[in-house]
Amino acid sequence: MTSLKNVEWKSKDGRAVKVIIEVTRKMVEDVAYADGWNLDLGKKPHESTKITLTLNDKVIDTVGYVSVINEQLYTAKDMATIRANNGYAKLGNAIINKEQYDNIMAAVAEATTEAEQDEEYKAHLEAKNQAKAVAEAAQKELEEEVIPEVVVDLYNKYGCEEKAWGDGSDEGWALLSKWMPYLEAQYGMSKEKAARLFGEAVREANFGINES
């Protein structure tokens, strides 16, 4: 769905200024092209925001966003000129004041809300938000579950389940395997495991390259 909004005012010399906001939110076909085959990957979200500045109906600039002026990017002389003209933000190369900026951003927000009512896109957002909520709940459980002291002691001793197994501690291996996601969420990955995973990644990346 595409939503259009306009924000209009008069310039100091009386010319008609119009800012056209066009926001699109929809699902589009996702096709991968490989060796002459078109692989249908289902649908993916398409999100675009186009802000067009016109002066007396002549297009001056088209951008994707309006940015508040960063004083660090300008000389003191330029900033003095900008302040004298109540400059607050930039739309392309044009300087606009705070009221104009606020009106444009309000129109962008309104257009975005409307565009997001596209049924397919809305369903995509709901599914994405639900998946995020599930992931956050799972992470919270990992971070807040009370880990038995004996397991923490084993973690401090071995650092990873593989090392406990190598030391002949079947019980240590079993406990660390069960609690490892909680341990890593609360204490971070051990140096031993990080080193092992890094070594495996390097070997996989170099597979066959250094073979004689």
What are the residues whose beta carbons fall under 8 Å from the beta carbon of 181, sequence distance 6 or more? 142
Distance (Å, whole) CA 175 – CA 95: 63
Q: Is residue 57 part of a domain?
A: yes
Q: Is residue 108 part of a domain?
A: yes
> What local confidence, expressed as pLDDT, does residue 212 receive?
45
Are the beta carbons of 69 and 58 closer than 8 angstroms? no
If asked whether residues 11 and 114 sit together in one domain, one would say yes
Q: Is residue 72 part of a domain?
A: yes
If asked whether residues 102 and 172 sit together in one domain, one would say no
Q: Above 90 in pLDDT, residue 88?
A: yes
What are the residues whose beta carbons fall under 8 Å from the beta carbon of 56, sequence distance 6 or more? 15, 16
Pairing of strands 89-91, 67-68: antiparallel
For tokens 């030391």, the residue is: 167
Query: What are the tokens at 14?
Result: 């009386």
* Model confidence, pTM: 0.67
Distance (Å, whole) CA 178 – CA 29: 41
Q: Is 14 helix (H, G, I), strand (E, B) or coil?
A: coil
Q: Above 80 in pLDDT, residue 193?
A: no
Query: What are the tokens at 86?
Result: 């109540």
Domain extent at residue 58: 2-119
Q: Is residue 130 part of a domain?
A: no
Distance (Å, whole) CA 192 – CA 58: 64
Nearest CA-CA partner of 23 in 101, 121, 132: 121
> What local confidence, expressed as pLDDT, does residue 205 receive?
65
Task: Give pLDDT tens digits for 138-180.
Answer: 999 999 999 999 999 999 998 889 899 999 999 999 999 999 9
The domain total for the chain is 2
